[in-house]
Structure 1
């Protein structure tokens, strides 16, 4: 569903965003960063959506403290996501406003207008994105003939590994309503999965939620809020390292040994970094269902970006999951760039990476890990949310996956959002998930 009325209401109040990766300690909030110079770029259609070939007009407003001010070097360009500009040039403002008209796309996708202006030597940027028949976007990635066999073999490999769970109670983090634990358990290749478990106190059995992380290397604190609401919650990291180390450990790994981990061994489908990650998510499900407090029948998974991908993937691979929530899933239709359109994060075939990774082995490997192919086999009901202004995970890429889903699905679109969400999206998705899990 499109939600332009909600969008207009949100603009008139103080709003906060859920952090990009949706994965730190429950639902994290911070103020939406505002620029000294506010550049607003909006397609004039109310829901930012157009029919194929329909002409689009972008409305531009450049203000400071709500009023137009003198600016320099105002320029714009219009392009299909991540592609070269198809129209560009200087922009003349009249009382801080302008409009840009451009021919519409003849094929399904997204057309983005970016505007730049300079004040006191600093350049500022604004963008708006028009959708053209997004429900008709088809994927470029192919399905391997042995896709199911490959992942069934991986699950058999995992099943042969003892779980060997370890739990350490954290009294200083626990509350009157929730117990908090650091946990870890064994995964494939002599690795372990580390995470934070939050369990409601009291009698009875509880539904469970697996929270899978966005990209990066960081500590985790546990989701006490959802546990207090009556669900067991397990937040996991994906790198096989404890999640309670000093901050400098993670920053050193991010700039050193794990820098660019998403590309590690991409030429070999059996050694690719994400194979251990995907199987580790299944092992996290093994751990959750083993808990005596689990109700035995209600299990969800949720995440954003890389975590949105892992939500879909884990649910597709593991029928024990009943419901999923995914925000702007990464790792979707990654071969888009090879077909002259945007591909999903981590943009392995973008121009800057093409000379390193454009070979048949990498293309073959990624077909086993692309969200599109998991979407094709997904049977789990899901709730999805995103916007059109996402620079990190282009909507072309995640619509390519979303459109393949045959399972029951609900999508909550707020077009102006990028690689972040309003709290209303988090509230709506959490309410959806808890309603399902507590039926």
Structure 2
């Protein structure tokens, strides 16, 4: 039986948010709803402004702007706080998101609040289909990769966690940078008795961390965390700062080689995922049935891609996944497709993008999935996240965050770890 559970922190699909400065608090809410709004159904954002004693503030002007999918401005204006009603109403004529931004300047300080409403999000579809040879391309890449056995170099690392063995790991990956990260397992790990988990990084240049894999190993898992680029781990901060300001700048690496699928930067990143899952599943302690991937933003993208490329992945936890729906009007990070001088997107980049679109990997996994989406996330837009979510075929859940920008708040992390820990305890 397919389970489709839509979860909302606060209230299902309703917005309740607040922004505060000294002496002033702006509240924004929508009607309580247990289902999303329908196309052409009016959505009203109710605004109130109160002081520290919860008394209404009646002097001043608020400015507002309502957009479609955080892009197209539908309406804007000002409201006087002494008005009988501080309500802003709009509607959408297609599935997507309405977003409202309200600001108030008082005593020299400006307070801004943002919120959103979902309009039939389960009907959002990707803006383009997968390339006709998508499966052929990735099959050929995996075949090439797997002609060479996994060659892993493990170096023991001291850990203060009792009952945990920790290693730095490096795995060759043909022409690309190696898989580089940390691997941990319970010291008493028995053959074929442990689930495995792969933890993945968001955008930027960072070292893999030890804490996550130590926690997972203490919970009874084989755990690996890799950095996104195959760079050295555990280096001084300046090492990563220099990379982040240079070759691994977020304004550079996502677009490197993007005119050709064979040179696209993400080809190496995605193949490292398979090298990592090959390593985890080759461990004699792996239980042969449970393989989990988890990440935020670019890491969420990688978590889904790993599942799309490797059918052994059985569970995915992806917060605000990036790289969704590259060829649509409302795209996710890194906004691969940008208009050229003639106002049209580069045809070669548009073609390449299809091979690295999370929507196409989502459609190719049967893993159990939990995603999160922020309605005011301008980095990984909610429309793009839902386009990917709607491509999943198996059991799936999504945590809706009507007032959240680009983040994975504690409530979301708690939900992910509950799902993961329940999963490993139940099997």
Q: TM-score, normalised by structure 2?
A: 0.88
Task: Tell me which residue corresponds to 1:299.
Answer: 291
> C-alpha deviations, 1:46-78, integer Å up to 9, x for none?
358311111111012345657466886631111
For the residue of structure 2 that corresponds to 1:335, the secondary structure is coil
Quickly say closer, same or farther: Cα 1:343–1:95, change in 2 above 3 A: same
Task: Tell me which residue corresponds to 2:162.
Answer: 176
Matched, 1:250 2:240: yes
Give yes or no for contact 2:195–2:289 (8 Å, CA) kept in 1.
yes
Task: Tell me which residue corresponds to 1:315.
Answer: 307
Give yes or no for contact 1:38–1:126 (8 Å, CA) kept in 2.
no
Quickly say closer, same or farther: Cα 1:422–1:288, change in 2 above 3 A: same
For the residue of structure 2 that corresponds to 1:75, the secondary structure is strand
Quote how far apart the aligned CAs of 1:425 are. Answer: 2.3
| 5+ residue gaps, structure 2 | none
Quote how far apart the aligned CAs of 1:134 are. Answer: 0.5
| Correspondence 1:10-409 to 2 at 5 A | 38-47=25-34, 49-63=36-50, 65=52, 67=54, 74-94=62-82, 98-102=86-90, 104-171=91-158, 173-204=159-190, 205-222=193-210, 223=212, 224-259=214-249, 260=251, 261-337=253-329, 342-349=330-337, 358-409=345-396
Quote how far apart the aligned CAs of 1:293 are. Answer: 3.0
Quickly say closer, same or farther: Cα 1:96–1:126, change in 2 above 3 A: farther
Give yes or no for contact 1:71–1:117 (8 Å, CA) kept in 2.
no
Quote how far apart the aligned CAs of 1:91 are. Answer: 2.4
Give yes or no for contact 1:179–1:198 (8 Å, CA) kept in 2.
yes
For the residue of structure 1 that corresponds to 2:328, the secondary structure is helix
Quickly say closer, same or farther: Cα 1:363–1:64, change in 2 above 3 A: farther
Rounded to whole Å, the distance in 2 between the matches of 1:33 and 1:93 is 16
Rounded to whole Å, the distance in 2 between the matches of 1:71 and 1:263 is 49
Quickly say closer, same or farther: Cα 1:48–1:120, change in 2 above 3 A: farther
Q: TM-score, normalised by structure 1?
A: 0.85
Give yes or no for contact 2:99–2:116 (8 Å, CA) kept in 1.
yes
Rounded to whole Å, the distance in 2 between the matches of 1:436 and 1:266 is 38
Rounded to whole Å, the distance in 2 between the matches of 1:265 and 1:131 is 36
Quickly say closer, same or farther: Cα 1:317–1:66, change in 2 above 3 A: farther
Give yes or no for contact 1:40–1:127 (8 Å, CA) kept in 2.
no
Give yes or no for contact 1:143–1:373 (8 Å, CA) kept in 2.
yes
Task: Tell me which residue corresponds to 2:397.
Answer: 410
Matched, 1:423 2:415: no
For the residue of structure 1 that corresponds to 2:375, the secondary structure is coil
For the residue of structure 2 that corresponds to 1:316, the secondary structure is helix
> C-alpha deviations, 1:84-108, integer Å up to 9, x for none?
3110012222499822122x11110
Rounded to whole Å, the distance in 2 between the matches of 1:268 and 1:365 is 6
Quote how far apart the aligned CAs of 1:335 are. Answer: 1.6
Give yes or no for contact 1:217–1:251 (8 Å, CA) kept in 2.
yes
For the residue of structure 1 that corresponds to 2:148, the secondary structure is coil
> C-alpha deviations, 1:173-220, integer Å up to 9, x for none?
341122222111111315211111121222423211011111111122
Rounded to whole Å, the distance in 1 between the matches of 2:179 and 2:415 is 30
Give yes or no for contact 2:336–2:353 (8 Å, CA) kept in 1.
no
Rounded to whole Å, the distance in 2 between the matches of 1:262 and 1:132 is 31
For the residue of structure 2 that corresponds to 1:49, the secondary structure is coil
Quickly say closer, same or farther: Cα 1:246–1:70, change in 2 above 3 A: farther
Rounded to whole Å, the distance in 2 between the matches of 1:5 and 1:242 is 38
Rounded to whole Å, the distance in 2 between the matches of 1:287 and 1:33 is 46
> C-alpha deviations, 1:231-278, integer Å up to 9, x for none?
111111121211211112112211211112111111111100100000
Query: Number of matched residues?
Result: 411
